[in-house]
Structure 1
């Protein structure tokens, strides 16, 4: 049986990645790293924000190509594909529009990678699955929603891997594929009541909040059901607002995600759910969970960049 080290959002922080891999017992192997009896699973979000984006992509890709790692797509990889894919038949229009907000989010990648390096990275991103189920675990960037994962995979098979035809549907607000991409890569959200909003860690004002998709939110407030570190209003969730999001079954195999900019000491979100994103790009930790076949996850199995077992 193969055991896995699930590593959270890296966002261009190559030094932390190398330190973490070494502390977990991985050694240099070509452009990547290898451990004779374990493999890495990357939860996505390799690019944007950090100082060494090209090196992070190089290491992750080398490990995947060598069979030393698996990787799923993050929302930043999906956004990069859409940002750099032109809408057919238009002049200077892209599937991800280019207002200042979107450019700022992507500017470190644009400034650090040459046109050739960026094009090559985008082509690799297109090969990444949106979810992995292997060896007794599941991994997706933000949420495990079986119907949504099936919807995405069916569309990829029918119209091609993140082709313009795929993006035309996935970027159509309200389409089944758009909803699936949002749920799996960005996490299910609830719209806040009129008059309420939050300012997220990136400084953006938002009218919706990410939720604890692995739990039943019935009878909770938005603050109680929110997943993340934002300051969310303590207002009751309206009846019917939770329709369409299935709580992750408590008897299902462990699932690992990233995405949520958590802070503090890493710990499982539920007995079979763990997040490995602890905000390395905002002064936090680059975190891994060392999975050894257990069905009940433990706070003692988290590592971070200095290699300490916590």
Structure 2
């Protein structure tokens, strides 16, 4: 069907989707995973004769090759062989590298995230215009994909949030005028994007001291937004947290209202949460494809073939080959 040197025919019939978890700049592992799933690289574009890849966000940052990863994903989207959405790390890139009228970043990275941005800048050291072009391209990506029986979002599916976001994507992108509102913690749009890309987080009581494996104090934790939260313990509500939470009931005043994802809604695939294999199918209609590649785990993909029930056997994994640089960042 495809021959080297010929133009790419993207009119093939799609028989399934491969939802790929958080790549985080590990392009070698991504290429190996694509090969493992039967994709070919033709004329610089990865493709499958009857499947399409869907990137669940956070394909940038933390790993050694964000520039090459963006190039791979971008070429697939431009040729119609893949789809991608924004995660919180793409928002970090957009905020740091997009300048406002005063020539300052819309959201200056700090701490470990600043180290990540410096590393990305170094990848583009002789290609400053390409960095600008890639960041502009990121601003054209959506925050969700709906494919009928399945949905893809980075961290939390809320229909009202997604409608508000789409309303503010002028001409199919995040305009500079919109970005000041996007990065405002007080705006409804800022809240919608923050929860869409970071999930629902609950603040811990001030007198409850919880530290993670790096001995850093945590002030909030991620929760299961597909379950009713009231009457549950901290541990029962928790999902994707790398620290142990107490097993007593969460005070109701700590829980801000949010829309619980309905049990009969379409399958929704997310990244972001960095969970082990037994917890990747979080409920009958919620599936996480982030198996912690950036934290010593594996790059994962779920191969959806139209099934009516999520199956662990549909996961494909590619273990990381390179030594982690030690950079963190939320």
Per the TM superposition, whether the score is higher than 0.5 is yes
Match for residue 116 of structure 2? Answer: 105
Q: Secondary structure at the match of 2:227?
A: coil
- 1:174 matched to 2:222: no
Unpaired segments ≥5 residues, structure 1: none
Q: Secondary structure at the match of 2:168?
A: helix
Match for residue 24 of structure 2? Answer: 11
CA contact 2:98–2:135 (8 Å) conserved in 1: no
In 2, Cα distance between equivalents of 1:52 and 1:157: 30
- 1:125 matched to 2:134: no
Match for residue 57 of structure 2? Answer: 44
In 2, Cα distance between equivalents of 1:2 and 1:135: 14
Q: State how many pairs are aligned.
A: 303
- Residues 14/225 of structure 1: CA separation in 2 closer, same or farther (3 Å cut): same
Displacement of 1:173 after TM fit?
A: 1.5
Task: Compare 236-245 and 62-71 and name the one that shifted more.
Answer: 236-245
Give 1:263-282 correspondences, 5 Å limit. 263-265=276-278, 267-282=280-295
Match for residue 235 of structure 2? Answer: 223
Unpaired segments ≥5 residues, structure 2: 1-13, 320-330
- Residues 263/80 of structure 1: CA separation in 2 closer, same or farther (3 Å cut): same
Give 1:157-168 correspondences, 5 Å limit. 157=170, 161-168=173-180
Match of 1:286 among 277, 281, 299: 299
Q: Secondary structure at the match of 2:129?
A: helix
Q: Please provide the CA RMSD for this pair.
A: 2.1
- Residues 202/58 of structure 1: CA separation in 2 closer, same or farther (3 Å cut): farther
In 2, Cα distance between equivalents of 1:95 and 1:238: 36
In 1, Cα distance between equivalents of 2:135 and 2:184: 21
Give 1:299-310 correspondences, 5 Å limit. 299-305=312-318
- Residues 197/278 of structure 1: CA separation in 2 closer, same or farther (3 Å cut): farther
Match for residue 48 of structure 2? Answer: 35
- Residues 9/292 of structure 1: CA separation in 2 closer, same or farther (3 Å cut): same
